[in-house]
Structure 1
Amino acid sequence: MHDTRPHLSNSDFPPIYRQQLEVLQVNLGYLCNLSCVHCHVNAGPKRTELMDAETMQHLLQFMKTAHINTLDLTGGAPEMHPQFTFLVAAARNMGVKVIDRCNLTILEDSSYPEMAAFLANHQVEIVASLPCYLEDNVDKQRGKGVFKDSLAALKRLNQLGYGQTDSGLVLNLVYNPQDALLPPDQQHLEQAYKSHLYTHYDIVFNRLYAIANMPIQRFGSTLLSQGRFHDYIHLLKDNFQSVNLERLMCLNAISVDWQGYVYDCDFNQMLAMPLADGPRLHISDLNEEGLEGMRIATALHCYGCTAGQGSSCGGALK
């Protein structure tokens, strides 16, 4: 049988090492109301993988002992986890900043009528996916009707104070290319987004993050089936910028999967690449003091974070 999985090992990516741990990025599960083409998680409505209550308690304990200052929640649609509100409230009570990586449409789902207000009441920072400000492009990438629901959610968030000057409620949007291309200049694109969304829909937001598509999971398999996988890898490597190595998110963060296992980043998690200098570890067995200075596991997909202006979960690196 022909192997259609992306092969990313045997990388010549430069070695990088973890600094002081500050951010815990947690994937609560793969359940999602969407099935986006670019999704590196293969999330969707039929996925059943969700973090259990015991693992969630281990997370909270680690956050306390390791003095984590930021909890970054992702999925799937993290809001669909039955204990999402519990975890957010517990983290906020500990004084931890919480980021919700939101697909926006979930806030318009009739099953979650109070979710937007909950996020605002707990001052959760929202990082919302909106891969373009044009309806046809968004619906092509994420499904028919997604753009309309996304606009409705953004207006709801604006009404709650998100994106408004001096509100303290941060709303950042995420752009990713429609194809196997590097993102355009983030600053210029942000201005285009702000101008278009405000002029046409009276919508405001704080920042735009331009993030490269990672050649893994659903997107990587699509490239392979089209015979374009290796061309995309060459594009990423040809545009490598060493200065981006100093600003990578993995330098001060770790990623935890829905079962509680620990990885160097969310992308490594999707590739089942354990921490570089040790065996597969569970959050309940993790010693935060041993993480600083540890080599970070890398492979060819890491060029996706270091090509051009750089790319991370917080957008461009320069």
Structure 2
Amino acid sequence: MTGIGGRSPGIGTGFRGVAGVEPFADALARHGLSLVRDRVHTLQVNTGYLCNLRCRHCHLEAGPGRKEMMSRETMEAVVSFARRFPFQVLDVTGGAPELVPDLPFLVDGLAPLAPRLMLRTNLSAVSGAAWEALLALCVAHRVVLVASFPSTNRSQADAQRGAGVTEGAIVVLKKLNAAGYGVDGTGLELDLVSNPVGAFLPVSQGSTERKFRTDLLRKWGIAFNHLYTFANVPLGRYRTWLLRTGNYERYLKTLTEGFNPSAVERLMCRTLLSVSWDGFLYDCDFNLAAGRASADPKIHVSDVRELPSPFAPIAIGEYCYACTAGSGFT
């Protein structure tokens, strides 16, 4: 049977030669740590890089011009893979998954296979009849919606995502509330994700959630369930922006200085597998962005017969500092 793992956890790309940046593997060793698998319970499905936005912080460089998109055939292989193993969480992401024509097929196929099915949305990819149909499908399957909403300050949010995007997102959030999402007692979960709009780390998740809850309710009457704050990972378009603005080295040093050894045990890559738009497996969406598959040669979901065992190695790179700075990316 074909399993996953068994290759050396290599050192990543892009960070070497930056003064003051200790290799991530050395930082782990200095604290007596290693980054290895726990029991896998989450499957993240990246449906492709097509997106209506060109967000500054995007580690995948998703955008309107991207052609990579998950086919119906690959979706069938992903559903079959999820059916073979006891995943507790299925997480559909992109790009903008809403722009993938066969997304309803994927949602229908995955919904019965795990207690929790999540769909990530930028709140602006589709509108009109397409949006209404997608909303009805999500309500029917009790899909958890995870929405990107970087700031309650419109100018800051638009600086990251594009002019006028925040106004449209507010309209969609109101419609989601009207459908029951984010409203107590409905069982329809609406979570928000906020990434910093500049070259700095996020502030406390607890205080940010309180601010968002107060601001959204006061300004627009919007409710949600949870908010998560994550550091931006210096890959893709965000890395390009850091280099162009002269913030690259400073941001890397900020990440390394914020290294929190206590965050390593709870990193999402320890319990997650990520499948790319073309059906190959990665340890996480960031390794996917870096082109570092979970095995060499890389493995397609249709060929996998067993999940990686606990203590199997995970491919690491210096960009992993973004997931271990402060409270970590868990």
Structure 1 length as normaliser, TM-score?
0.92
**Structure 1, residues 108-136: CA drift from partner, whole Å, max 9, x if none?**
35643322222122111011000001111
Residue ranges of structure 1 left out of the alignment (5+ in a row):
1-5, 313-318
- Distance (Å, rounded) in 2 between the aligned partners of 1:83 and 1:96: 22
Look up the match of 2:15. 8
CA RMSD of aligned residues (A): 1.6
Look up the match of 1:33. 52
More displaced 10-residue stretch of structure 1: 215-224 or 101-110: 101-110
- Distance (Å, rounded) in 2 between the aligned partners of 1:309 and 1:11: 17
Q: Kindly state the Cα deviation for residue 278 of structure 1 after the two structures are TM-superposed.
A: 4.1
Look up the match of 2:180. 161
Secondary structure of the residue that 2:125 maps to in structure 1?
A: helix
2:37–2:308 contact (8 Å) kept in structure 1:
no
- Distance (Å, rounded) in 1 between the aligned partners of 2:230 and 2:114: 28
Residue 160 of structure 2: which of 131, 137, 141 is its match? 141
Q: Does 1:286 align with 2:304?
A: yes
- Distance (Å, rounded) in 2 between the aligned partners of 1:289 and 1:202: 44
Q: Does 1:303 align with 2:321?
A: yes
2:90–2:114 contact (8 Å) kept in structure 1:
no
1:108–1:149 contact (8 Å) kept in structure 2:
no
Alignment map for 1:200-219 (pairs within 5 Å): 200-219=219-238
Q: Kindly state the Cα deviation for residue 96 of structure 1 after the two structures are TM-superposed.
A: 4.5
Task: Number of aligned residue pairs: give it.
Answer: 306
- Distance (Å, rounded) in 1 between the aligned partners of 2:299 and 2:113: 25
- Distance (Å, rounded) in 2 between the aligned partners of 1:135 and 1:113: 25
Alignment map for 1:1-318 (pairs within 5 Å): 7-8=14-15, 11-12=24-25, 13-14=27-28, 15-108=34-127, 111-275=130-294, 278-312=296-330
Secondary structure of the residue that 1:288 maps to in structure 2?
A: coil
Secondary structure of the residue that 2:193 maps to in structure 1?
A: strand
Where do 4+ consecutive residues of structure 1 move more than 4 Å?
A: none
Q: Which has the higher contact order (CA 8 A, sep 6+)?
A: 2
1:72–1:98 contact (8 Å) kept in structure 2:
yes
Look up the match of 1:3. none
Q: Kindly state the Cα deviation for residue 51 of structure 1 after the two structures are TM-superposed.
A: 1.1
Structure 2 length as normaliser, TM-score?
0.88
- Distance (Å, rounded) in 2 between the aligned partners of 1:302 and 1:130: 23
CA, structure 1 residues 109+227, in 2 after alignment: closer, same or farther (shift >3 Å)? farther
**Structure 1, residues 147-177: CA drift from partner, whole Å, max 9, x if none?**
1110011000001111111211111111111
State the identity as a percent: 38
CA, structure 1 residues 202+239, in 2 after alignment: closer, same or farther (shift >3 Å)? same
Residue ranges of structure 2 left out of the alignment (5+ in a row):
1-12, 17-22, 29-33
Q: Kindly state the Cα deviation for residue 287 of structure 1 after the two structures are TM-superposed.
A: 3.2
Letter in 2 for 1:106: A
1:107–1:115 contact (8 Å) kept in structure 2:
no
- Distance (Å, rounded) in 1 between the aligned partners of 2:198 and 2:106: 35
Q: Kindly state the Cα deviation for residue 283 of structure 1 after the two structures are TM-superposed.
A: 1.2
- Distance (Å, rounded) in 2 between the aligned partners of 1:148 and 1:261: 36
